[in-house]
């Protein structure tokens, strides 16, 4: 899934641009030193974006699965973000299904071909449901967003790439007549 790679590079570039745009006056991290702006660190830049509401506050722990207090398979931070959207319940369900499937992809036994196929099918079905529940063209950017937010740490990225590598060369059949919640 090269989309994640492209989006990861784009996110880093945006973060780097934000890091260079300090506007405070405290002389440290985002302030000015002698009239020259000092850059934010990545952590400071993301914290500022989260505090402003431009980015959701995401779990960046070392855990691959992250916190899921209600055990529904969707990380709590991702679920809060999806629930905050003004979307219909069916649309929110499709995004949660995608997040759940991506979470499974990061934790699947990559030596178990049946488990890999099951996870790939769940991702495929979640994408189909997203396209069924959102207006034409609206589902893809939202799916990309959920993918980026779900695979948001190095450990999660590595686990997701391990899944993608294990799936390399695998063909998937198109699915018809999918009924979404």
Chunk the chain into consecutive blocks of 10 residues (it has 181) and report each block's average pLDDT, rounded to whole numbers.
49 44 46 61 79 85 94 96 94 95 96 93 92 87 93 95 87 68 69
CB of 56 closer than 8 Å to CB of 77: yes
Work out the angle at residue 111's Cα, subtended by the Cα atoms of residues 180 and 78, and round it to the nearest 5 degrees: 40
The single-letter DSSP state of residue 35 is T
The whole-number pLDDT of residue 16 equals 43
The whole-number pLDDT of residue 31 equals 56
Phi, psi of 174 (to 5 degrees): -70, 150
Query: What are the residues whose beta carbons fall under 8 Å from the beta carbon of 6, sequence distance 6 or more?
Result: none
- Residue given tokens 């990380």 in the structure block: 75
Quick one: CA torsion of 153, 2, 134, 78, rounded to 10 degrees?
A: -10
The whole-number pLDDT of residue 170 equals 67
CB of 116 closer than 8 Å to CB of 108: yes
> Could you tell me the pTM of the whole model?
0.73
- Residue given tokens 């959207």 in the structure block: 85
Which CA distances in Å does 10 have to 5, 95, 99, 141, 161?
Answer: 9, 22, 21, 14, 17
CB of 163 closer than 8 Å to CB of 116: yes
SS3 at position 111: coil
């Amino acid at each position: 899934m090269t989309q994640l790679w492209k989006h990861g590079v784009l996110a880093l570039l945006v973060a780097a641009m934000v890091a260079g745009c300090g506007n405070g006056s405290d002389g440290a991290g985002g302030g000015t030193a002698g009239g020259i702006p000092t850059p934010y660190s990545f952590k400071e830049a993301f914290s500022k974006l989260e505090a402003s509401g431009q980015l959701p506050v995401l779990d960046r722990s070392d855990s691959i699965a992250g916190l899921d207090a209600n055990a529904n398979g969707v990380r709590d931070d991702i679920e809060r973000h999806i629930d905050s959207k003004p979307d219909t319940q069916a649309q929110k369900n499709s995004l949660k299904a995608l997040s759940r499937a991506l979470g499974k992809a990061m934790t699947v036994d990559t030596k178990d071909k049946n488990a890999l196929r099951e996870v790939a099918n769940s991702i495929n079905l979640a994408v189909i449901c997203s396209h069924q529940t959102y207006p034409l063209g609206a589902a893809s950017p939202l799916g990309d967003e959920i993918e980026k937010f779900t695979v948001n740490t190095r450990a999660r990225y590595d686990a997701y790439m391990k899944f993608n590598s294990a799936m390399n060369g695998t063909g998937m059949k198109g699915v018809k007549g999918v009924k979404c919640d």
